Structure 1
């Protein structure tokens, strides 16, 4: 159940971002501590790590855990690796199409852009599945090899104007984007992130395998804590020693390790609270949205952004401002919170009616 809760928490946060809750908070004149906290709800501009930089790794990680648990259940039903591989490929193809389609919606016209998290997940899921039957050590070493490969490509592939490994717009990832898409992302994101972030999905597979194993709770928590701390030390060590900076937008090896470490520690905490201590009274708040994770993500990134956000603003924040003259900064926050609540309520309604959308 801990995985369901964690997935729901991730989706609640992503929904809040799409509903502009964080943007509204940022507009309010907060004290310095408050402003520092709100800053954590946005991606770091380049070199560094914010809380929000952990959401996408968590998303990829949980997808990996779900991939393994689903696969193990199918094995019990007699469905072979090969037969299930066709399903994984088909699902990944749909994720890829949704990812590309979302960028067309963002742009308001047909575009060929490969930066969406669903596009990345389409590739990382296939990579993780190809080695899903291998040992823990093999999968771990394979994931580290992906990080090493990324390091080598950034450091040693020298292309004029793209030969600065960790400089925005002038790195190997940016160059590859010009080859694949004929453009560079103005925020510094790169499509080749599918290689290093596959490690997050692979580690999710390993975590899923661990959590459904017959080991004692204490053993599982020790493994999650130990591997989490090791990943944190390696990630921040690479950064502090000026070997590889932590940069989320190009998913440097130090970023993948550091963010993966935090995700493992978060999972350990949630597992202890939910599955060991059985503190599940309010878990449903998260699970109702986590049960339709892909649906609600696509919903709030399409219908939500295009229509719901604006419509809710008219009948909540704008109306309140008109009636009682409350500050626009405050009414914007009210609108965002109302939209956030409405989209969660949609998931609750689907959950109560046992409607679950699957890819």
Structure 2
């Protein structure tokens, strides 16, 4: 959530103003999504969020059943939670639009679409959870692999794709190219079932509704991690398991991408991306579990705790409130106030103040024990 909120720093603008600085180029690269294949730090935001949904599910189920809630009552709550996430995602994507923008590829809607299935699998045995994960990954891979490649007369412009784009893949991996794949074809049908200003032809970034299926795979990895966390294993055993799964995920993901069997693409959430990003999530979890639960260094992470305890509020503030904050800062401090350290750093100064205001709002909510939960 901090990485998402920190988008207001606009590090790419600093990098553009200082083109000879490899330092700012490095930071700017990791504050943006890669064009297609690969991974930057920013690409790990959504899988981390999805992974943690799975991690907390065993605790959520145990808490609700302890409070004498029946299975069906708990399941109805899961469906309600799912619907709210989907509607909230659509609401945030419809800001400043003339009509409701029915789109289902953002973080909240993707989690909402997969959450009921995750909830049901939370009651299944560990073996069934693992089998479900394998079926999702292999089945989704096969569906893309069997979808035909573009014909010689394919209209790339009408699909928002470029025939000779430098990021296009060749050979078997071409089944996962931007806006010529199965998920794009599905959205050309599905999204046009909803009222629209004009027919849906393509998503400019290549994102797709069907990505919620492999995103469910990411949440299942989190569920597996949550089961280990909740188990009676020693902290050392848990950390060792997380490290093994993390490193294994990175290696397997790199091999699948390198071999051309399945490219590592976050934008369409390929099975390789589930495995690779899941590896990073296990490593992050191992570090924070070691630092917070084993070493008991909770005070080190208070800044992050304030954000994490109100993750939905943080998401909404970052996605829907910052334009107002930005305009207000310039209104009251002057249009050029952020040039105090020089023109190249204006976006950094302006963004830092916005980020500070966002955090102080969350800190006030934390102090008042105002936690938005769905």
TM-score (norm 2): 0.87
The answer to whether residue 335 in structure 2 is matched with residue 318 in structure 1 is: yes
> Is the CA contact (8 Å cut-off) linking 2:114 and 2:212 kept in structure 1?
yes
The answer to whether residue 103 in structure 2 is matched with residue 113 in structure 1 is: yes
> Is the CA contact (8 Å cut-off) linking 1:197 and 1:251 kept in structure 2?
yes
For residues 146-161 of structure 1, the aligned pairs below 5 Å read: 146-158=136-148, 161=154
Alpha-carbon shift at residue 24 of structure 1 (Å): 4.2
> Is the CA contact (8 Å cut-off) linking 1:24 and 1:336 kept in structure 2?
no
The answer to whether residue 83 in structure 2 is matched with residue 65 in structure 1 is: no
Q: 1:20 to 1:36 in 2, by over 3 A?
A: closer
1:199 corresponds to: 217
For residues 31-42 of structure 1, the aligned pairs below 5 Å read: 31-42=21-32
The answer to whether residue 92 in structure 2 is matched with residue 77 in structure 1 is: no
1:355 corresponds to: 370
Q: 1:317 to 1:196 in 2, by over 3 A?
A: farther
The answer to whether residue 119 in structure 2 is matched with residue 101 in structure 1 is: no
Q: 1:32 to 1:216 in 2, by over 3 A?
A: same
> Is the CA contact (8 Å cut-off) linking 1:318 and 1:331 kept in structure 2?
no
> Is the CA contact (8 Å cut-off) linking 1:188 and 1:249 kept in structure 2?
yes
Which of 293, 306, 309 matches 2:326?
309
RMSD, aligned CA: 2.0
CA–CA separation in structure 1 for the residues paired with 2:320 and 2:220: 29
Alpha-carbon shift at residue 65 of structure 1 (Å): 1.5
CA–CA separation in structure 2 for the residues paired with 1:143 and 1:25: 42
Q: 1:343 to 1:108 in 2, by over 3 A?
A: farther
For residues 1-359 of structure 1, the aligned pairs below 5 Å read: 11-17=1-7, 19-29=8-18, 31-105=21-95, 107=97, 109-158=99-148, 161=154, 164-181=174-191, 182-305=200-323, 307-316=324-333, 318-320=335-337, 326-359=341-374
TM-score (norm 1): 0.90
CA–CA separation in structure 1 for the residues paired with 2:233 and 2:336: 56
CA–CA separation in structure 1 for the residues paired with 2:252 and 2:97: 38
CA–CA separation in structure 2 for the residues paired with 1:230 and 1:321: 45
Alpha-carbon shift at residue 318 of structure 1 (Å): 3.1
Q: Please state whether the residue corresponding to 1:186 is helix, strand or coil.
A: coil
> Is the CA contact (8 Å cut-off) linking 2:53 and 2:222 kept in structure 1?
yes
Alpha-carbon shift at residue 196 of structure 1 (Å): 0.7
CA–CA separation in structure 1 for the residues paired with 2:319 and 2:57: 23
Name stretches of at least 5 consecutive residues in structure 2 with no aligned partner. 160-171, 192-199
> Is the CA contact (8 Å cut-off) linking 1:317 and 1:332 kept in structure 2?
no
> Is the CA contact (8 Å cut-off) linking 1:103 and 1:113 kept in structure 2?
yes
> Is the CA contact (8 Å cut-off) linking 1:316 and 1:335 kept in structure 2?
no
CA–CA separation in structure 2 for the residues paired with 1:106 and 1:53: 25
Alpha-carbon shift at residue 304 of structure 1 (Å): 1.8
